[in-house]
Structure 1
Amino acid sequence: MFLKHKIFSRRKFLKQISLTAVMACSVGFSGAYAAEPEKEELKFGFIKLTDMAPLAIAYEKGYFEDEGLYVTLEAQANWKVLLDRVIDGQLDGAHMLAGQPLGATIGYGTKADIITAFSMDLNGNAITVSNDIWKQMKPHVPHENGKPVHPIKADALKPVVEKFKDDGKPFNMGMVFPVSTHNYELRYWLAAGGIHPGYYAPAKGDVSGTIDADALLSVTPPPQMPGTMEAGTIYGYCVGEPWNQQAVFKGIGVPVVTDYEIWKNNPEKVFGVSKTWADKNPNTHIAVVKAMIRAAKWLDAENNKNRPEAVKILSQSNYVGADYDVIANSMTGTFEYEKGDKREVPDFNVFFRYNATYPYYSDAIWYLTQMRRWGQIAKPKADSWYMDIAKRVYRPDIYATAAKELIVEGKIKATEFPDFSTEDGFRAPQKHFIDDIVYNGKKPNDYLKEFKIGLKGKDTVN
């Protein structure tokens, strides 16, 4: 270990000399350079999903080492354990659900100040139903040339859910965590088809999320989704890969819609750290973000040419641990719905293009609107409140510092990042939702008013 540290320190020293020389010759040199990390030994957590890939690639390709960091990656049992270990300092940071830093900051669940300066990916999830439910849905799905027309809307599921209700049976579905993207995407899809996914009422002690629900959503850890559905405990679920394709390979279910079809190029996971850790280790944090940006670029380089190698890495038991073919089925530019119905979906997993790694305030605000819509935020909030929380949690300033160092080092071109001189942290109003409702992150309350199902204005859960 001592030798390893000496190697890192020497590498960092030589790198600093080189970087300073490069910057001194650059136009507009401001005198900044990559500072020595405060902490070299780091432990990061992740859940066994393909979108943890930036962490694995940053490790395997030596990008962490290039920044003088000695990193250990450790799979976690579930999202709650992962968050708790970041909060108590057992983990220096982690692959997180986008809603986790936001939920923790506003005090939904465990109260803690968690921030993110790096968005790990876009898209990557899907909604899968059991073979029996698909058989009941199929007559309500439009077909063309013998194949279902996509995107498949929840309108096709509604008569199935209504029959369950008429028979006095609950219609159970799984998602991975109450503040997960999967929860909000599943709720969004269901509600767009007229199926009420239920409200939360934390002020009344009801955090089941099933008040007034037509479909009952409950938490299931990602790797357990296929088995739980096969056992009949749930009839469908929303999860990240490879656990939708696993259902196809096992012949137990059909992915009916991807999150790319629910919201084109939606933000998915983030890399989260505690604010205390970030304040104590600012240089280390920048170094981590630099390594992960490079990993994300590698993953998307030259039209995904590196994906087969990435799949081989992820299939290792210490990372995702699923079969190569299962992971490749979605990560190499295709996605298989009904068995044998494999389609081209080149953007199912996006790690770098479309400014995927940039932590947009508007992304944070969308998740906050969904927390409000379903009652996790029990009382109305002014538009300014949404902006204030977004700025507390999402840190594009840290991201920009890391990106600028990479530009000066010649590792990534300035044109591959947002224009930091004009970027305000808001994507242009987004139109590509399955219900055609336009999202403008600068007007969250106006956005909430557009939905037929969900809380808005002064609404509360009775």
Structure 2
Amino acid sequence: MSKNVLKKMIGRRSLLRKTMMTFGALATGSLLAISVANAGIGAPEKEELKFGFIKLTDMAPLAIAYEKGFFEDEGLYVTIEAQANWKVLLDRVIDGQLDGAHMLAGQPLGATIGFGTQAHIITAFSMDLNGNAITVSNDIWEQMKPNVPKDATGKPIHPIKADALKPVIEKYKAEGKPFNMGMVFPVSTHNYELRYWLAAGNIKPGYYAPHNGDTSGKLDADVLLSVTPPPQMPATMEAGTIYGYCVGEPWNQQAVFKGIGVPVVTDYEIWKNNPEKVFGVSNEWAEKYPNTHKRVVKAMIRAAKWLDENDNANRPEAVKILSQSNYVGADYEVIANSMTGTFEYEKGDKREVPDFNVFFRHNATYPYYSDAIWYLTQMRRWGQISDQKPDSWYMDIAKKVYRPDIYAEAAQALIEDGLMEASEFPDFATEEGFRPPQTHFIDGITYDGHTPNEYLTKFKIGLKNDDKI
């Protein structure tokens, strides 16, 4: 079946649902909202919506909100479309071709501060925690293995640090060969996680210097990082263009299934329960359609809960949905390898990682200011923010982009609808938007979002204070 035919079928199904629901409402003489889930927030200003996503398992809240009818419960009739890459996706949100999209957490921040495309993008919903890994080719893994500590059975001890890769990179350097690795976008979590892991192993991942017109991110680098769209990662590595990459699922497990590479570390091991994707819209759109926006957030909160509830009991069904070609389009077994609470490193070395993908637990959906500030610190650390900024600047940008106020209104409406309990959310009366200081980083450094400049001084590699490239 062609993608166009499938797309038309999905659109017809949504139209059929809408027609049936409208007819049912009229048949009962109700001119009120179609669903009980419409309490507390006014009618949507815009009902027909189009959302974008990239083919990754962490787009799941969008797929589930659609497939389970949560959008329609809010009077919203949604089309969901895969996008070619992160830049196209962002551009289409900015120019209005998309109403909103599954985004890299750094995209709304990067756009709002003007790194790359300039536009005021906001997020009121965090889509997930964790979900990424770093994979190297079989050849690089064989060179790393002698440097990796092993347990009594000969299995690698995790987490595997970049210290094991450093001698390999030094060998390439001595031979005059560049060491190339891939990540998905300059302001992606993947870029910052890969850089974090490398730098923790005393490997320099390079700097940006936008004030000098250099946005390559390769200045003074031991490892050259370049952008590769997620679905193309395995093939690019197999072709030898890159020796490894950081990407979301299922593209690390795909390398294992194809027998071309080995995931060496997950982002859960780099930074336990790190924020990953967000749902982004333009600020102009959010101001024009405030009720619609809150209803979208309501539907996605319900989807996130569904994905995690009853100890991930719904994950097999979610995997079946995601494996459809109109969503992620990878084999069921490949997606299930990480989505159902396990993760396979070397072929046959499958381990329990119940929190590899988190969609609702640990307040995963709440847009914390401290999450935004962490991304901004990494932009500063690697030169995407050229100049030193006061701590107050970080807070101002976080508040401009991350919108827990909108989230709280959506959550409160779900509580009033009887669909969720107050205990399932932060205490909105006292919540200030900062996680407690976080200690679970691979290098042992503690992060406190209240003091971004002090945090930057803790790193041996990276810009700090008034450093400038």
Structure-1-length-normalised TM-score:
0.95
CA separation of 1:227/1:419 partners in 2, compared to 1, >3 Å: closer, same or farther? same
Alignment of 1:47 with 2:61, yes or no, is: no
CA separation of 1:285/1:13 partners in 2, compared to 1, >3 Å: closer, same or farther? farther
Could you tell me which runs of 5 or more consecutive residues in structure 2 were left unpaired when the two chains were aligned.
1-14
Which AA in structure 1 matches 2:393? W
2:173 matched residue in structure 1: 165
Alignment of 1:373 with 2:381, yes or no, is: yes
Alignment of 1:308 with 2:300, yes or no, is: no
Contact 1:174-1:219 at 8 Å conserved across structures? yes
1:425 matched residue in structure 2: 433
CA distance in 1, matches of 2:55, 2:114: 26
Which AA in structure 1 matches 2:250? P
Which AA in structure 2 matches 1:326? V
Which AA in structure 2 matches 1:348? F
What secondary structure sits across from 1:387 in the alignment?
helix
Q: Please state how far the C-alpha of 1:8 moved relative to its aligned partner.
A: 4.6
CA separation of 1:39/1:6 partners in 2, compared to 1, >3 Å: closer, same or farther? farther
Contact 2:22-2:34 at 8 Å conserved across structures? no
Give the number of equivalent residue pairs.
450
Alignment of 1:328 with 2:336, yes or no, is: yes
Q: Please state how far the C-alpha of 1:4 moved relative to its aligned partner.
A: 2.9
Contact 1:44-1:71 at 8 Å conserved across structures? yes
Which AA in structure 2 matches 1:57? I
Q: Please state how far the C-alpha of 1:34 moved relative to its aligned partner.
A: 2.2
Which AA in structure 1 matches 2:105? A
Which string of whole-angstrom CA distances, capped at 9 and with x for unpartnered residues, describes residues 372-391 of structure 1? Answer: 00000000000000000000
CA distance in 2, matches of 1:437, 1:164: 29
Output aligned runs, 1:5-404, within 5 Å: 7-8=21-22, 10=25, 13-15=31-33, 33-144=40-151, 145-404=153-412
What secondary structure sits across from 1:257 in the alignment?
strand
Alignment of 1:412 with 2:412, yes or no, is: no
CA distance in 1, matches of 2:133, 2:198: 13
Give the alignment's Cα RMSD to 1 decimal: 1.5
Alignment of 1:4 with 2:18, yes or no, is: yes
Contact 2:34-2:73 at 8 Å conserved across structures? no
Could you tell me which runs of 5 or more consecutive residues in structure 1 were left unpaired when the two chains were aligned.
24-32
Contact 2:380-2:463 at 8 Å conserved across structures? yes
Which string of whole-angstrom CA distances, capped at 9 and with x for unpartnered residues, describes residues 77-123 of structure 1? Answer: 00000000000000000000000000000000000000000000000
Which string of whole-angstrom CA distances, capped at 9 and with x for unpartnered residues, describes residues 153-177 of structure 1? Answer: 0000000000000000000000000
Structure-2-length-normalised TM-score:
0.94
CA distance in 1, matches of 2:95, 2:286: 14
Percent sequence identity over matched residues? Answer: 80
Contact 2:37-2:73 at 8 Å conserved across structures? no
Which string of whole-angstrom CA distances, capped at 9 and with x for unpartnered residues, describes residues 19-40 of structure 1? Answer: 79xx8xxxxxxxxx22100000
What secondary structure sits across from 1:147 in the alignment?
coil
CA separation of 1:66/1:140 partners in 2, compared to 1, >3 Å: closer, same or farther? same
What secondary structure sits across from 1:116 in the alignment?
strand
CA distance in 2, matches of 1:137, 1:254: 11
